[in-house]
Amino acid sequence: MGAGKLSSIAAAALVATLTLGVFYQLREYGPETALRKFQMSAISGDRDALQRVCKQDVSGQSAQILTRTLRQFNAAGARVRMGMLHRETRVDQVQGEAVNVRSVVAEVRYYMPGRVESIHWVVDLGPAGWTINADETILFPFKKLGVGQPG
């Protein structure tokens, strides 16, 4: 084997190692991770862990509805499948000011015996990282259909 071939193999091994290292570091980062942590915390009843990945107070109505729904799906034996992710920037009100918020809408399907349910989760990127926007998640189907808000 020539020196050129050995250096090519070494370079490829180095790139592979660096790539794996980067992905290993990012395994706990991103909207999918926030969504997974929210679902696991909601099902297990870990309020502290849930609050770390929820934009709103977990005692609020939207977070409570989502938590209750996830527990019902879990009790029904739901299998979870991540669907499409849609990245967007939307205007949100933060302390009375309009700010641009980086956001992802993640369609998640819950397969249960005899039925399939979908939730379009809204996950925002803020100073604390990616968090579930429970209020926007609850409002998403109504906004998508262009109808008034529930209540």
Q: Domain residue spans in the chain?
A: 3-145
What's the pLDDT tens digit per position in 23-55?
A: 444 344 699 999 999 999 999 999 999 999 999
pTM for the full predicted model: 0.76
Strands 115-126 and 129-132: antiparallel
pLDDT in tens, 103-128: 999 999 999 999 999 999 999 999 88
Using only C-alpha atoms, the chain has a radius of gyration, in whole angstroms, of 20
